[in-house]
Amino acid sequence: MPGRMALIPFIDPHVHADSRSGEELGRLRAAGCEGVAIVAGAAGGFSCPEGLYDYFRRLDRLDRRKVERSGLRAWVALGVHPAGIPDAGLDALEDGLGEALRAHGAQALGEIGLERCDEREQRLLLRELELAAELGLPAIVHTPREDKARALGLSLEILSRSGLDPERVLLDHLDEQTLELAEGSGCWLGLSVHPAKLDPERAAAIVDGRGPERIVVDSDCGANPSWLFALPAAISAMQDLSVPDAAIRAAVHDHALRFLGELAGET
Ligand SMILES: [Zn+2]
């Protein structure tokens, strides 16, 4: 195809910005990024809820400022990653989490979800989805690498008991199989373009094959090997397949804004 293709702006709604530098975020801005959701991850190792709340405070203060100074819009998602549940104090965490989310400016819950699907994880996920409903916030729900379909089914069952509108949920790290299971749920469908998840070509083939309805592309970039430029790579893989610009823009920009509650309109 002759000439340069249009630069399509994008929003990345799953970035562990605490593990990325201001310089990297500036390069992301130059590549067409307009904003990122700074998502609490499995920083892990917290012995008690207070350690986790200090981590929330850091994301809200330092990482939010770092992202904004890079010229990007920032949303902060706070929550307990299933791989980062504090060793002790689950009851206290269930009681205190709502206040911590308010105190540290949470604009979404995330990332939350199931990893091993044990009792503790299920209990906490229900509480967090209930809090999202109470606080009027969207929620980014992780699905694990192992046993993804089972974890997704359980997560949807817990969601149905939580009172949270599926329209406010991003089911993340879906693949070709789990996408089919998730499609009837009414949730946003997250494709993470990431070395351990989907490469740009697979994500592009999914959008090309089924259309962009309810699809949200993100990077899940952070400290683990990951692709800072996941979205530009996905955009060019979609352009290579001649996916229309409007469909690409929906999957990498508009749906993320709608999920975050910033934009009304059609899926
Ligand atoms: Zn993540």
C-alpha of residue 5 to centroid of ligand 1, in Å? 30
- Residue 167 confidence (pLDDT): 97
Helix (H, G, I), strand (E, B) or coil at 66: helix
| Residue 157: CB atoms within 10 Å | 11
C-alpha of residue 163 to centroid of ligand 1, in Å? 24
Q: Which residues fall within 8 angstroms of residue 81, CB to CB, at 6 or more apart? A: 40, 41, 42, 43, 44, 111, 112, 113, 142
- Residue 265 confidence (pLDDT): 64
Q: Tens digits of per-residue pLDDT, 66-75? A: 999 999 999 9
Gap between the Cα atoms of 192 and 198, Å rounded: 6
- Residue 266 confidence (pLDDT): 53
pTM value surpassing 0.85? yes
The secondary structure element, H or E, covering residue 217 is: strand 215-218
C-alpha of residue 3 to centroid of ligand 1, in Å? 36
The residues with which 33 forms a beta bridge, in sequence order, are 10
| Cβ 72 vs Cβ 22: under 8 Å | no
C-alpha of residue 249 to centroid of ligand 1, in Å? 22
Strand 169-171 relative to strand 188-192, pairing: parallel
User: Domain-by-domain residue ranges, the chain?
Assistant: 10-259
Q: Which residues fall within 8 angstroms of residue 150, CB to CB, at 6 or more apart? A: 117
Gap between the Cα atoms of 201 and 184, Å rounded: 24
Q: For the packed helices 90-103 and 49-58, what is the interaxial angle rounded to 10 degrees?
A: 20
Q: Tens digits of per-residue pLDDT, 130-150? A: 999 999 999 999 999 999 999
Gap between the Cα atoms of 147 and 158, Å rounded: 17
Q: Check if CATH label 3.40.50.970 holds for domain 10-259.
A: no
| Residue 137: CB atoms within 10 Å | 21
C-alpha of residue 176 to centroid of ligand 1, in Å? 19
- Residue 241 confidence (pLDDT): 98
CA 23 centroid distance within chain:
22
C-alpha of residue 15 to centroid of ligand 1, in Å? 7
- Residue 263 confidence (pLDDT): 81
C-alpha of residue 253 to centroid of ligand 1, in Å? 18
C-alpha of residue 164 to centroid of ligand 1, in Å? 21
> pLDDT tens, position by position, for the chain (267 residues)?
444 567 899 999 999 999 999 999 999 999 999 999 999 998 777 999 999 999 999 999 999 999 999 999 999 999 999 999 998 999 999 999 999 999 999 999 999 999 999 999 999 999 999 999 999 999 999 999 999 999 999 999 999 999 999 999 999 999 999 999 999 999 999 999 999 999 999 999 999 999 999 999 999 999 999 999 999 999 999 999 999 999 999 999 999 999 999 987 655
| Dihedral sign (CA 157, 134, 167, 243) | negative
C-alpha of residue 223 to centroid of ligand 1, in Å? 10
Using alpha carbons, list the distances in angstroms from residue 180 to 24, 102, 133, 203: 34, 35, 25, 14
C-alpha of residue 1 to centroid of ligand 1, in Å? 35
